[in-house]
Amino acid sequence: MEVVSDIRGDDEMLATRLRAALGDDQVRTGEAISDRYLGDWSTERRGRPAVLVLPRSTEDVSRALAACHALRRPVVPQGGLTGLAGGAVPDEGAVVLSLERLNRIECLDADSATLTVQAGVPLQAIQEAAQAAGFLCGLDLGARGSCQIGGNISTNAGGNRVIRYGMTRDLVLGLEAVLPDGTVLSMMNQMGKNNTGIDLKQLFIGSEGTLGVVTRAVLRLHPGISGANTALVALDGFDSALKLLRHARQALSGQVSAFEVMWRDYYQAATSLEGARAPLAADYPLYVLLDMQSPRPQDDAARFQGVLEHALEQGWAQDAAIAQSHGDAEAFWALRDSVAEMLPKLAPTLNFDVSVPISRIGTCVERMRAAMESGFPGIAHMYFGHVGDGNVHIVAGPLPADGGLTEHGIEEAFYTIVRDLSGSVSAEHGIGLHKRPWLEYSRSPAEIQLMRTLKQALDPQGIMNPGKILES
Ligand code: FAD
């Protein structure tokens, strides 16, 4: 594949071209670029961008890309910068294109149950707009206040409600994207059914800004909810969690909206944080946060309680606490969401976001624990995740300062286990920079070659987010 030339055009010439195309207020250089644009939530930092572009419209994005294309300058799209895989981190001298000013909610069509938005709208604003009109946006994640829908689409974000509503991909009906040469592809489909050949929008969902820039989207909305039945359940092991999941899905007619598992080490760390509540004793092997959202939660309470009673009678559940108020439910969720507070205590950490078929998660965690205990004693490791989706997160740390040797060793051990269990090295955060060396553990040589062929076809000059997902 042809790669971006090492000999970059003159930065000043580029900035002048961009200013002429977009206006002064959309282009920043040098010290006027704040450090916030140097990277995302990952600790990876590569260098200072030469230019920051802050477009206000699709046409501005198109003009900016056309100018960069003409000068063969690498462009790094940035959303809310909450990504965890280093996908939005620019190299020294790159052009950063931030979508933060494309932040308009354009229209809510109640009859079609769709919401049309620009790419830079924060997820939380979308959730609130949907709720105000009696609908629900099925996407929800801890970074909701900062992440943007364009970033969610580009990473195919998962989050807390995938078991009920699917990944971001399942919520996108239509998309507008700008190709690296500035061509605008408007695919703002609003229908649930549209089988007119290859579904091109899928190319831009989950491709982490390597094929083009997402500028607008049509999102599918779901019927609104007014609350949830929520419980925290203590279990004697992963087999019991599988039985509870299967039973809950059937007994609640597919309405389970979260099935989050915390292994004992995670639960103990979460409940020891300042201000945390411990609704159940902390010495059970496993805890499940079970949640069922609905328009009238009180109508479903008996069915929900019945599931828990059945689990206790069968001996799968050892104890259970049902949230009696919104405050209780928030306290249960706070335990599950408290990883951000735990990370500084374990820093420097290594964070994993893997998936394996649900039935193999117990084996996966057991093998990982054994690998840590035999190969890396003294490093803490905690396990939790969206187990209803086959997704486990692992945090390990603190890592010793040995130039990345331990990090590489743990990654190799864990990703080998994942590969042996037919899993994926990234369930939801994406490949970015961090997981690029491990892509081949989950994708075949033929698949990786097809990714390269697509990249070459859409971005022959290799300017779009080079070095992310694949080597440039
Ligand atoms: P950024 O970080 O800015 O960018 C992410 C990638 O998308 C980069 O490759 C970037 O180049 C590209 N990109 C951004 N915008 C565009 C665009 N408009 N067009 C083309 N490319 C673009 N993720 C989950 O999946 N599930 C979770 O449960 C979850 N929980 C999180 C909790 C916390 C506290 C944090 C900090 C992160 C969490 N994440 C989670 C990760 C992160 O929030 C998601 O990956 C999110 O989708 C990133 O959106 P963003 O707008 O911040 O994108």
CATH 3.30.465.10 range(s) for the chain read 105-223
Residue 159, classified by CB atoms within 10 Å of its CB into exposed (0-12), middle (13-18) or buried (19+), is buried
Interval 298-310 mean pLDDT: 97
The whole-number pLDDT of residue 275 equals 87
pLDDT, tens digit, 9 for 90 and up, residues 131-154: 999 999 999 998 999 999 999 999
Determine the atom of ligand 1 nearest the C-alpha atom of 386. 28
Determine the atom of ligand 1 nearest the C-alpha atom of 120. 18
pLDDT, tens digit, 9 for 90 and up, residues 234-289: 999 999 999 999 999 999 988 999 999 999 999 999 999 988 889 999 999 999 99
Nearest-CA residue for atom 28 of ligand 1: 159
Interval 373-398 mean pLDDT: 95
**Which of 154, 219, 435 to mutate for ligand 1's pocket (most ligand atoms within 8 Å of CB)?**
154
CATH 3.30.70.2740 range(s) for the chain read 346-430
382 with 263: CB under 8 angstroms? yes
Beta-ladder partners of 213: 178
- Residue 157 one-letter amino acid: A
Interval 102-112 mean pLDDT: 98
Q: What topology is assigned to 105-223 in CATH? A: 3.30.465
The whole-number pLDDT of residue 339 equals 87
State the distance from the centre of ligand 1 to the C-alpha of 417, rounded, in angstroms.
26
Residue 110, classified by CB atoms within 10 Å of its CB into exposed (0-12), middle (13-18) or buried (19+), is exposed
Q: What topology is assigned to 227-336 in CATH? A: Alpha-Beta Plaits (3.30.70)
Q: Which CATH architecture has domain 4-101+453-458?
A: 2-Layer Sandwich (3.30)
- Measured CA to CA, the distance from residue 2 to residue 74 in angstroms comes to 13
Phi, psi of 226 (to 5 degrees): -115, -5
267 with 336: CB under 8 angstroms? no
Nearest-CA residue for atom 49 of ligand 1: 151
Whether 4 has a pLDDT exceeding 70, the answer reads no
Summary mean pLDDT of the chain: 95
Pocket of ligand 1 (CB under 6 A): 40-41, 76-84, 87-88, 99, 119, 141-143, 147-148, 150-152, 154-155, 157-159, 208-209, 213-214, 340, 428-429, 432, 465, 468
- Measured CA to CA, the distance from residue 115 to residue 38 in angstroms comes to 31
Whether 404 has a pLDDT exceeding 50, the answer reads yes
List, as one string, the DSSP characters of 378-415: T-EEEEEE-GGGTEEEEEEEPPPSSTTHHHHHHHHHHH
CATH 3.30.70.2190 range(s) for the chain read 227-336
pLDDT, tens digit, 9 for 90 and up, residues 327-383: 999 999 999 988 888 888 899 999 999 999 999 999 999 999 999 999 999 999 999
The whole-number pLDDT of residue 211 equals 98
Nearest-CA residue for atom 32 of ligand 1: 142
Tell me the residue ranges of DSSP E strands in 280-387.
286-294, 317-322, 350-355, 380-385
Q: Which of 296, 271, 294 is nearest to 281 (CA)?
A: 271
Determine the atom of ligand 1 nearest the C-alpha atom of 152. 47
pLDDT, tens digit, 9 for 90 and up, residues 166-216: 999 999 999 999 999 999 999 999 999 999 999 999 999 999 999 999 999
- Measured CA to CA, the distance from residue 315 to residue 334 in angstroms comes to 27
Whether 8 has a pLDDT exceeding 60, the answer reads no
Nearest-CA residue for atom 1 of ligand 1: 81
Tokens of 343: 């990370």
List, as one string, the DSSP characters of 208-276: TTSS-EEEEEEEE-EE---EEEEEEEEESSHHHHHHHHHHHHHHTTT---EEEEEEHHHHHHHHTSTT-
List, as one string, the DSSP characters of 407-448: HHHHHHHHHHHHHHTT-BSBSSS--TTTTGGGGGGTS-HHHH
The whole-number pLDDT of residue 343 equals 87
Interval 284-300 mean pLDDT: 96
Interval 283-302 mean pLDDT: 96
pLDDT, tens digit, 9 for 90 and up, residues 414-453: 999 999 999 999 999 999 999 999 999 999 999 999 999 9
State the distance from the centre of ligand 1 to the C-alpha of 401, rounded, in angstroms.
28
- Measured CA to CA, the distance from residue 261 to residue 105 in angstroms comes to 35
CATH 3.30.43.10 range(s) for the chain read 4-101+453-458
State the distance from the centre of ligand 1 to the C-alpha of 80, rounded, in angstroms.
7
101 with 56: CB under 8 angstroms? yes
- Measured CA to CA, the distance from residue 470 to residue 451 in angstroms comes to 8
CATH of span 346-430? 3.30.70.2740
- Measured CA to CA, the distance from residue 312 to residue 397 in angstroms comes to 35
